A and B are shown apart, each in its own frame.
Chain A
Amino acid sequence: MRDFFLFIQRYSHFFLFLILESVAFYAIYSFNNYHHAVLLNTSNNVNGYILTQRSNITKYFTLSEENEKLQQENNALRKQLLESYYIDKGDTIRNTDTTFRQKFTYIPGNVIQNSTDLVNNYITIDKGARHGIKKNMGVINPDGIVGIIVATSENFSIAMSVLNSKFKVTPKLKGNTSIGRLVWKNNSPYYATIEGINKFNILKKGDIVQTSQYSSLFPENVMIGTVSEVKPAPGGSFLEVKVKLSTNFTNLRSVYIINNLQKEEIETIEDQIINGN
């Protein structure tokens, strides 16, 4: 027994090393599980405050670019106003508001922390549960999709960006009915890959990639990017399509968080079917 204690005492530093490493490894392990994304820390108030202060300074550097983006967006929205149309019929039939029901609402937010050079990139946004943000909401900006909310606190929330090995969305190619899945293979912040598209499909460079109607997170036809390279996936009947992302992740400022008003209803029905069997 005495020898045993001597042994422990002699190699105590090695045991301390092992204990600390296993604590750290446990943290990494539980973090890799999607449901432990709550461990994400930059959404808490102290970290959030520091990052907001930094963002307040750095956002001036891209001010002119942001202005231009907002102008373009305003321009696009103005085109959709009723005032921009003229009535082309003798007897006026106008759409009353009851025809259209609001499906998506948008919550504007600012990115206060962002990375593009890690394998799993996350974005911290300065709006949280207090502003109506919940887990699993889509995030877009005027250029295209940005990510999905994975954790929220009172005033801040964290979104998994497209540049994350766990991110998946079902894209749609314009003029093509087949669907695949969009993944990011941690190569470059400007490109993502679509997998699972059958070889029969003819795709060419410059084809537009948008979100499909199958996702309850994003409205249909939100821009994802354009096809930049098509090649057969190794050992299979599928294509590997490289997509140039339309969102510039290296320079992300203002974003919109999407609230799908029908999401709960859809999920209730889906739950009924899954649990009913």
Chain B
Amino acid sequence: MAISILKHIIAFILLAGLQVLVLNGLDINSYINPQVFILFLLLLPVNSEIWFCLIAGFFSGAIVDGLSNTSGIHAFAGTALGYFRYFYIKFSLDKEEIERGMSPNIKNMPTSWHFFYLLICSLIYHWVVFFLEAFTFTGLSLLTLKSLSSAIIATFIMLLIGFLFSRKTTNV
């Protein structure tokens, strides 16, 4: 248990570092702005309590906010993602599967389920982030296109990270 918590904390530090020090510095263009640190939130065990998901989402978002000058945007989106994730898992998995309480990573889950889980969650996250950033209802189609392109790139990076680390670690 303690080891599992430690693993999640280390995963968060590495992902936040990757996000803030590498990906935020890339500045590819305004359409591709992938937020990859949410992988930490998505890989929490499937039987996590909802309050824990919300608080984890809030604080991981707040830390990334602090490092990239975006005040509460990621904290807001992180909390929303924590809430959404709970219902996504509840409606797409069986009760027995949830009770087993493993992490929904690429190794434990069917690849197609894992892919759509990452894609839909990151699409919602990017949409919320870009909407809060622009804070206007004009240009919603452009905003959706922007979040779609960023979410696809983010999903591929997250899958790549999943492939890289799925051999060595067993239950993270």
- A117 CB–B CB distance under 8 Å: yes
Q: CA A58 – CA B22 in complex, angstroms? A: 10
Structural contact, A189 and B27, CB atoms closer than 8 A:
yes
* Contacting pair A27 B29 (CB below 8 A): no
Which B residues are CB-close (under 8 A) to A40?
A: 69
Interface with A: B99-107, B111-119, B129-137, which one?
Answer: B129-137
* Cβ of A23 under 8 Å from chain B: yes
A119 contacts the other chain (CB 8 A):
yes
* 28 interchain pairs, CB-CB under 8 A: A13-B83, A21-B76, A21-B79, A24-B58, A24-B61, A25-B72, A27-B65, A28-B73, A31-B72, A41-B65, A41-B67, A42-B68, A47-B67, A50-B67, A54-B25, A113-B25, A114-B25, A115-B27, A115-B69, A116-B30, A117-B30, A117-B32, A118-B70, A119-B135, A158-B69, A187-B30, A188-B29, A189-B27
Residues of A within 8 A of B (CB): 12-13, 16-17, 20-21, 23-28, 30-32, 39-42, 47, 50, 54, 58, 113-120, 122, 124, 158, 186-189, 250
Q: A54-B21, A117-B30 are in contact. List 12 more A-B contacts (CB 8 A).
A: A13-B54, A24-B62, A24-B76, A25-B72, A26-B72, A27-B65, A40-B69, A42-B66, A54-B25, A118-B70, A120-B133, A186-B134
Give the interface of B toward A (CB within 8 A). Answer: 21, 24-25, 27-30, 32-33, 50-51, 54-55, 57-58, 61-62, 65-73, 75-76, 79-80, 83, 132-135
